[in-house]
Amino acid sequence: MTVKGVIVAGGEGKRFRPLTFYIQKCMIPVGDMEKPILEYIVRLLQYHKIDEQVLLVGYRHQQIMNYFDHGERFKVKMKYVMDPPDEKGSAAALLNAYRKNVICDNDTLLIYYGDILSNIDLTEMLIQHRKTNAEVTIALAKKFNVNVGVADLDGSRITKFVEKPDIEKPASIGILAIEGTVLGILEEMKKQSNKESFDIMGDVISIMVKRRRNIYGYLTDAQWMDIGSVEKYEKLEENTLREMLGFLFN
């Protein structure tokens, strides 16, 4: 069974404007080494011996291809699949790669969103995925920090207020493993979703959970950062990133 890394890297990055008027979101440099976000992801996959990588690209894809070429410099084999121009969403991009036979029923896919940085142990996640015979395994942080104040109300009177609390409930961090056997039902799911944008987390996973398919969570204490907006980018500390992912460059 082949494990392929699938990186979702085609979005326009609207929450990252004005930077993304000029730079593909996953190519924005981070950390003291000024490496693109995507390089950290590529190196993390390779560190866990996921050497076959498929990049789902669209907006400003030339920047990605010019930098990574076919992956030789990073000791991986890269294939690029252009997002379909008439279909939107991460699941539509995944279905498009399946239609083009770049990914297939016999693959296990490690899907990684292109604006997430983490030191998650992908090897352990895939071991659990196989042991449970899961169709899908979703990486879940054990808790999630809400970036706003949260209130309890009695009518309109506030009885409790906590600024930026940790919610003690597993939260998806934008990394998941999917068996290739799921790909064959994406076409039918796309018709069922009947939405303008067809997404992996919002549509495919939601439908599969409702159908009681074999979906598991991989709980992790790993550090992770969602760098999906200018605000989050500005808060990124170089020291934190170096401590979290510096091992990828040793």
Give domain status of residue 231, yes or no. Answer: yes
C-alpha dihedral sign at 102, 105, 107, 108: positive
pLDDT at 15: 73
Question: What CA–CA distance (Å, rounded) separates 88 from 110?
Answer: 21
Give domain status of residue 153, yes or no. Answer: no
Give domain status of residue 164, yes or no. Answer: no
Specify the number of domains making up the chain: 1
Give domain status of residue 146, yes or no. Answer: no
For 75, counting Cβ atoms within 10 Å of its Cβ (0-12 exposed, 13-18 middle, 19+ buried), the class is exposed
pLDDT higher than 90, residue 52: yes
pLDDT higher than 90, residue 13: no
CA trace torsion 25, 123, 50, 11 (10° rounding): -20
Mean pLDDT along residues 222-230: 78
Give domain status of residue 179, yes or no. Answer: yes
Of residues 167, 175, 68, the one with CA closest to residue 116? 175
Q: Residue 214: give its domain's CATH number.
A: 3.90.550.10
- Amino acid identity at 179: E
Mean pLDDT along residues 97-112: 93
Give domain status of residue 162, yes or no. Answer: no
Give domain status of residue 157, yes or no. Answer: no
Residue 196 neighbours by CB under 8 Å, 6+ apart: 88
User: Of how many residues is the chain composed?
Assistant: 250
pLDDT higher than 80, residue 156: no
C-alpha dihedral sign at 120, 123, 95, 215: negative
pLDDT at 110: 97
Give domain status of residue 199, yes or no. Answer: yes
For residue 41, the tally of other CB atoms under 10 A from its CB is: 26
| Full-model pTM | 0.88
Mean pLDDT along residues 83-96: 88
The domain of 50 spans 2-140+169-249
pLDDT higher than 70, residue 146: no
